Structure 1
Amino acid sequence: MTGKDIPGLIEAKDSIPQGTKINVTFLGNEDLEMRVAAAKAVRDLGFVPVPHISARRIGSQQQLEEFLGRLQEVGATEHVFSVGGDPATPEGPYPDSLSVIRSGVLQKYGVREVSIAGYPEGHPDIADDVLWRHLEDKSAALKEQGLDAVILTQFAFDTDPVMSWIDAVRARGIDTQIRVGTPGPAGIKRLLGFARRFGVGANAMIVKKYGFSLTNLMGTAGPDRFVTDLASLLAEDPSSGRVGLHFYTFGGLLATSDWVRQFTAAQA
């Protein structure tokens, strides 16, 4: 959810299981009060807040500590997501999420688990070798500091690159839990817009495999086929280790939580 999504969270609260992790963004058009209020709402409604720390948007160590201090006041620092962020030029001393992790500041405010980003289809602005080196370095740094880790991936429409990437993660000796990103049900145009922005493969063959066509952009699409296929592939490959899902709620919290509830019920 974003800092503006508190009404949507309240609307969806009865469809989301208590104890569910809900990430809270750190966007350029949000401020400290919005981020803290959203994290507090998540906690107050019985869920687990996972506030984002956008390294390149943090102007100073003092600003980072102020943010974490405010989150700690509302009981929202045990789980965080440390990510590099969008600005081409860092606004302060943290050029990437690794520098935030290595700062030693997180532990001061009660952080126990840090999510880090994974990119099964690469990143439009970062070379693959750099992505792999940073994933390895962040995993090692978290282990050295006694912090639990989760790898949270960019969303995808195709299970093949996701499975190949999971195999490559495990081949590097990283046994951290992976949460594979997938969009909740959303408008097809909206999904394709996010895919272009984040460098996610979305050609005609891929999106047909996912469950929609580029010739009909008026409807909505959900992750039914992707989730079903991914589950089958993971069941066939026990070396994949601990793998779960993370839902990007492009179509809204209620639509996503309703889809999860209905899909889960259908599997029972």
Structure 2
Amino acid sequence: MAAEGLRALLERVRYEVLPARATEDKVLAHVPRDVVVTVTASPVKGLEPTLDLAVRLAAHGYRVVPHVPARLLRDDLHLKEVAGRLGEVGIDDVFVPAGDADPPAGAYEGALPVLRRLTELGRPFARVGVTGYPESHPLIHDDVTVQAMWDKREHVTYIVSNLCFDPRLLGEWIGRIRRRDIALPLHVGVAGPVQRAKLLAMATKIGVGESTRFLTKHPSWFLRFATPGGYAPERLLTRAEGALTVPSAEVAGLHLFTFNQIAETERWRRALLDRLGD
């Protein structure tokens, strides 16, 4: 992969973290202030741990993006309260997926009604992100996911792609959404250098095990992590170079899924940047 193209992607990263007990300390110890930190939300724990961690990290000077799943919102009043609380601390960027809470906490079944409501509230956030699915969603047809991005385009400012381990599929998907005139900037989701032993240990812990919930829905994804030598983020980036760096792709940067292996992810990124610099 061309050094300049990879360097540009690695310098425009977002770290996705989980609101666990030690997350704040890990971020403070290992994440530079110029790296965006996104905080996931769990259907088991609810939205409060996400908002609490986001507010604390913002107070430390980080640009924070809390996940606000539609299915964790009780009603319009709850949405207004969330927007007001985040606005008070200067958080102007949120990520709005549908979420997996079943049943939903309130009336919102999917992301689009929440996005429309935020628009009606005067767009309290300068940036709003939604999910894209390069590999098939387990419950939703590919055509439906692409159409959903088209329907949301008036209410959002960027897309974050879910994990994809096939560079060919990733490139085809990017081309497909661009041909559909979905021109929103794209943050490409990439798993960080997850260590096999730590990933398997995480999956056994209550609460932290929530982090691997979506991996268990995709057994082939889990095998890529769990098999020694089965996954290396730089190999994926190298093979996807053409799809990620062509100007028409409008890739804004990388969204790194850390699985709370935050120190390992930042060490990997810095080491790769140093090698490219040499």
TM-score, reference length from structure 1: 0.81
* 2:31 corresponds to 1:23: no
Following superposition of structure 1 onto structure 2, how do residues 22-101 of structure 1 map, counting pairs within 5 Å?
22-76=37-91, 78-101=92-115
1:11/1:254 contact within 8 Å kept: yes
Following superposition of structure 1 onto structure 2, how do residues 90-169 of structure 1 map, counting pairs within 5 Å?
90-104=104-118, 107-108=121-122, 110-139=124-153, 141-142=154-155, 149-169=157-177
2:174/2:243 contact within 8 Å kept: no
Q: Which residue of 1 aligns with 2:184?
A: 176
Q: How many residues align?
A: 250
1:8/1:254 contact within 8 Å kept: no
1:10 aligned to which of 5, 25, 37? 25
For residues 215 and 133 of structure 2, the distance between their equivalents in structure 1, rounded to whole angstroms, comes to: 14
1:122/1:199 contact within 8 Å kept: no
C-alpha distance after superposition, 1:19-68 (max 9, x if no partner) = 32211112123355422221122212222111111101212111222222
For residues 8 and 133 of structure 1, the distance between their equivalents in structure 2, rounded to whole angstroms, comes to: 35
2:18/2:39 contact within 8 Å kept: yes
1:123/1:198 contact within 8 Å kept: no
TM-score, reference length from structure 2: 0.79
Q: State the structure with bigger RCO (CA 8 A, min sep 6), 1 or 2.
A: 2
For residues 16 and 43 of structure 1, the distance between their equivalents in structure 2, rounded to whole angstroms, comes to: 13
* 2:251 corresponds to 1:242: yes
For residues 226 and 195 of structure 1, the distance between their equivalents in structure 2, rounded to whole angstroms, comes to: 20
For residues 243 and 85 of structure 2, the distance between their equivalents in structure 1, rounded to whole angstroms, comes to: 42
Aligned residue for 1:115, secondary structure, equals strand
Q: Which residue of 2 aligns with 1:228?
A: 238
Query: Root-mean-square deviation (CA), in Å?
Result: 2.8
C-alpha distance after superposition, 1:174-200 (max 9, x if no partner) = 121111111111133738966643537
Report how far residue 162 of structure 1 moved: 0.7
2:149/2:182 contact within 8 Å kept: no
Report how far residue 4 of structure 1 moved: 1.9
For residues 243 and 72 of structure 1, the distance between their equivalents in structure 2, rounded to whole angstroms, comes to: 24
2:23/2:260 contact within 8 Å kept: no
Which one is further off, 161-170 or 87-96?
Answer: 87-96
2:215/2:222 contact within 8 Å kept: no
C-alpha distance after superposition, 1:100-157 (max 9, x if no partner) = 0111367557311111100000200111222111111001x32xxxx5x111011122
Cα 1:243–1:54 shift into 2, 3 Å: same
Aligned residue for 1:181, secondary structure, equals strand
For residues 80 and 254 of structure 1, the distance between their equivalents in structure 2, rounded to whole angstroms, comes to: 24
Aligned residue for 2:240, secondary structure, equals helix
